[in-house]
Structure 1
Amino acid sequence: MTHTTPPPAHSKRMVLLLIMASYLMLVIDISIVLTGLPRIQAALGFTPASLSWIQNAYTLAFGGFLLLGARAGDILGRRRMFITGLGLFTLASLAIGAASTPAWMIAFRAVQGLGAAVLAPSTLALISTHFEEGTERNRALAWYAAAAGIGATLGLVLGGLLADLLSWRAGFLINLPIGILLIIGALRHIRETERHTGRFDLAGALSSTLGMCALVFGIVEAAEAGWTSPLTQAGIAAGVVLLAAFMWIERHASQPLLPPGMLSNPQRNGAYAARLLFLSGMAGFWFFTAQYLQGALGFSPMQAGLAFVPVTVPQFLASASVPQIARRLGQRRMLLIGLALCVLGLAWLGVTASGMSYLGGVVLPMLLIGFGQGWVLAPLTVAGVAGVEARNAGAASGLVNVAHQLGASLGLAVLIVVYAGGHAPVFDAMGMARHTGTTMTVAAGLLFAAFLVAARSIRFTPTASGSARAVRAS
């Protein structure tokens, strides 16, 4: 295997910094548009329901091509794909910043998602190849998960500030200098990984991505046209057929995107399912709370961004405390406590949203959600890549990110239907508050399902070094 000599500690710190900064940029761009949605809608002429495609175009392309991006890293080298993904993501960000029509923005959000799909599997796989399994890798994964969790709320704050002080476009244009610096850093500090011979399963990638797009399109269309609409039914039917075709292709492909046995471990499957359900619920919190603060409470984009500080600060503190909390309570207990706090926070927000009071009805639920999310993503990440052979590290990291992105897409699509409640999703302040409360209650139900899956499927056992390592569920 190439480069068997372990890199020095200072080099590992720089590698981790580059990986975290790159992944943080990906996650921030999922949420940075949320606090600027009213400005984007006014500037480009989006309809209320079509606004969701600003998110879904990105997350669907991101999630749909992740496994292909992971395979590309295995075959062509993960550093090469890391740099390629950064370049594609950065150029797409520049195009989005110059968007003049909804179609333009949605198209390049999809291209940006493709760049993220190339980049993201390499970030997690590079952790597996640069850090030894055990305490060292778990610490790196904790910081990686912290970047994933903090990035969502940081994007909301940053997006609101930029939308008010400069323009919503600045949130994308800022990626240009950051992306260039990260590419230079990767060329200097990240070593190339061993390459493997293989083929690209393009049929599998296209059928899965198009299937998810069609399914989400059908669900979102139901919010405006209803479940009996021919377009709604055609979208859902096409999605089901394409996803069935994907499963057939994977069973018969000589080198499928999903290597044999990747979905045979009950613990990893539980981690993927719990992550998907968790993101399904949390997507509603980010998307609808950002609009609730502006539409129902009258906040400006900057005020709405700053209003998420009660989530951001606790989440940062909780994420930073993960190694200590895991040693004291164990990763399983930390995971379940984090999920329970998130369920309680969203359920609380569901009850108090109709009161239309930030201090009385939003701040305390946000605190619970912030602390909870900070303790959820790290153990789910550890469980999702535990026990995977080095040659399948890319595929395992791809599955973790697939669950993350597709959970957000499907969850947002379903919750848009819940929010619409059978009507066109345009409400006055009181109507927005009432429908937001209902949506948060359903989102809490999705998180409770994630809690049940985690409680049933995920176990952790301490290693001799005192770290925690996920093992097969008994």
Structure 2
Amino acid sequence: MKKLPLFTVLLAHFLTILDIFIVNVALPSIQQSIKATNSQMQLVVAVYMIGFAAFLVLGGKLGDYFGRKRIFITGMIVFMLASIGCGTATTPLLLVAMRFLQGISAAVMSPQVLSFIQLLFPKHEERTYAIGWYGITIGIGTMLGQFLGGFLVELPVSGVIQPWRFIFLLNTPICLIGLMLAAHNLEESRSNSSGKLDYPGAALLSSGLLLLVLTLTIGKDLGNIAFIFFAVSLLFLFLFRRMQVRKEQPLINTTLFRIRNFNIAIAIAALFMTMLDAYFFILSIYLQDGLRLSPAHAGVFVVCQGIGFILASFISARLVLRYGKNTLMTGTIVIMVSLALQLCLFHMPGYRWVNYILLAIHGAGVALVLPPLANVALKNIPENLAGNASGVYATFQQLFGAFGITVTGGIFFYVVNHYSYYQGMVFATGIHLLCMLGVLLLLLRLPGNILPKKKKRIANTPGYACYHSKLTAIEPCKE
């Protein structure tokens, strides 16, 4: 009976996606409650992805060496405790610290999800079914996150507890259910590798990425120390690279970066995630603080985006198989047109209802670009490096998602403070359009046929499309 183990690991995957999106709509309520600054609210969102990015590769290795079930359960326990810490936080600093811990625990859990799918479904046809549900879970987590974020903060319980705290405390019963299911339905497994975990390499990689992301995201608030952080991060990453070249079983195989398609795909993903995560963050602020919509109303707007994504994901793989990179280029243009029209129509109250449609179109455009991009990244990757490539690809996505929130968000708040919310939205949309123009130019450098022939059956599965593309790259079947 494989359905219960699959449900168990997908429940953890659902949690990691839910906690990205459930916070966005609740940000104005949280800010008023704990008297946080705009920069601190940016960090509440970005620091989750910083922890995720810095420890993702290490999380996969921990499962390989210490046992995937053990690390999965440990990650979920820490995620639950961090969620309780978020829900009871009384200061911005404590909330940011607990969100960072959430991100680290998510990075520990996420690699185990795909590892268990590989183990539970060794046959190609069975794995296709499981990967379909993997993608559907991301879509469900995205939509429920937007809806619950708006709904929970409006619960009439303000006399007993501040409603926004429920968006974090909600994780507690879900985690408890997940822990009971994991204890009874998952079997322990670990890598057959006889090597040892590279502790010095893991420390250098995690520390280097952490300092680099902190510098890129909150460097403006750190002052001169930001230059020291940046220099130390480069030193750590340089030393890490030197060590990895000499290792028989490196944490990251540097030969990946000699593969042209992989480098282009990473560059596209970096620009795309810089746009996408910042877009959700700024849109939620603009709808509530700029247009004075209720959290629930703002949540409904953004849910339309998720609906458009899920519907388009059922046909995106077929379109890619038939039209190749033209599908991704079409999706990019669709997103750009949607962004421009949203900016115009949100400012016109009589036509604001059209944005429900435009957000759905935006989601459809994302479905045409982001999931197939993972296949581009893996197209020429040797089978023994596919898992490593997945971790590197997802790390770049998390890193630049956090970068987009802090940099674009910082520009947005600066313009808002000096001019208006609409002017802030104009500048943010301009940055988003520049990112998408960069995506379009990079797509021109790809070959016409972007899907690996051996993976057509997987890629053609309804629901394979992985929203927000957290670890979308799936290891090849070993039949």
TM-score calculated relative to the size of structure 1: 0.83
Partners of 1:393 and 1:198 in 2: how far apart?
A: 19
Alignment of 1:316-465 (within 5 A): 316-322=310-316, 325=319, 329=322, 332-355=325-348, 359=352, 362-385=355-378, 392=385, 394-421=387-414, 426=417, 431-457=420-446, 459-463=450-454
- CA offset digits 1:225-274 (Å, max 9, x no partner): 9xxx5355445444444444443443455643203534343333333332
Q: For structure 1, which segment, 33-42 or 454-463, has the greater mean C-alpha deviation from structure 2 after superposition?
A: 454-463
Q: For structure 1, which segment, 216-225 or 150-159, has the greater mean C-alpha deviation from structure 2 after superposition?
A: 216-225
- One-letter code of the match for 1:57? V
Q: Specify the alignment match of 1:201 in structure 2.
A: 198
- One-letter code of the match for 1:319? S
Partners of 1:19 and 1:451 in 2: how far apart?
A: 35
Partners of 1:20 and 1:376 in 2: how far apart?
A: 23
Partners of 2:389 and 2:86 in 1: how far apart?
A: 30
Partners of 1:415 and 1:290 in 2: how far apart?
A: 14
Aligned partner of 1:19 among 9, 16, 23: 9
- One-letter code of the match for 1:106? V
Partners of 1:462 and 1:360 in 2: how far apart?
A: 43
Q: What runs of 5+ residues in structure 1 fail to find an aligned partner?
A: 1-9
Residue 215 of structure 1: CA displacement? 3.9
- CA offset digits 1:331-387 (Å, max 9, x no partner): 645444333322332233345555567726733431221112233333233444557
- CA offset digits 1:276-307 (Å, max 9, x no partner): 22211101111000000001110122221122
Q: What runs of 5+ residues in structure 2 fail to find an aligned partner?
A: 158-162, 461-472, 475-479
Partners of 1:40 and 1:76 in 2: how far apart?
A: 38
Counterpart contact for 1:142–1:378, Cα < 8 Å: no
The 3 A distance-change label for structure 1 pair 267 and 154 is: farther
Counterpart contact for 1:146–1:374, Cα < 8 Å: no
Q: Does 1:278 align with 2:272?
A: yes
The 3 A distance-change label for structure 1 pair 215 and 174 is: same
Residue 44 of structure 1: CA displacement? 1.6
Q: For structure 1, which segment, 270-279 or 212-221, has the greater mean C-alpha deviation from structure 2 after superposition?
A: 212-221
The 3 A distance-change label for structure 1 pair 149 and 233 is: farther
Q: For structure 1, which segment, 197-206 or 276-285, has the greater mean C-alpha deviation from structure 2 after superposition?
A: 197-206
Counterpart contact for 1:344–1:444, Cα < 8 Å: no
Alignment of 1:148-297 (within 5 A): 148-165=138-155, 167-195=163-191, 196-221=193-218, 229-252=223-246, 255-297=249-291
Q: SS of the residue aligned with 1:179?
A: helix
- CA offset digits 1:24-56 (Å, max 9, x no partner): 210110121111111211222211112111122
Q: What is the Cα-based RMSD across aligned positions, in Å?
A: 3.3
- CA offset digits 1:179-225 (Å, max 9, x no partner): 12222323343444342333333444444444444444444446669
- One-letter code of the match for 1:314? G
Q: Specify the alignment match of 1:5 in structure 2.
A: none
- One-letter code of the match for 1:380? L
Q: Does 1:59 align with 2:59?
A: no
The 3 A distance-change label for structure 1 pair 297 and 223 is: farther
Residue 22 of structure 1: CA displacement? 1.8
Partners of 2:146 and 2:236 in 1: how far apart?
A: 34
Partners of 2:83 and 2:327 in 1: how far apart?
A: 36
The 3 A distance-change label for structure 1 pair 374 and 53 is: same
Q: SS of the residue aligned with 2:279?
A: helix
Q: For structure 1, which segment, 204-213 or 363-372, has the greater mean C-alpha deviation from structure 2 after superposition?
A: 204-213
The 3 A distance-change label for structure 1 pair 18 and 397 is: farther
The 3 A distance-change label for structure 1 pair 353 and 207 is: farther
Q: Does 1:116 align with 2:106?
A: yes
Partners of 2:70 and 2:378 in 1: how far apart?
A: 22
Aligned partner of 1:126 among 116, 136, 144: 116
Counterpart contact for 1:63–1:117, Cα < 8 Å: yes
- CA offset digits 1:53-81 (Å, max 9, x no partner): 11222111111000101111222232332
Q: Specify the alignment match of 2:137 in structure 1.
A: 147
Q: Specify the alignment match of 2:464 in structure 1.
A: none
Count of matched residue positions in the alignment of Structure 1 and Structure 2:
453
Partners of 2:63 and 2:137 in 1: how far apart?
A: 21
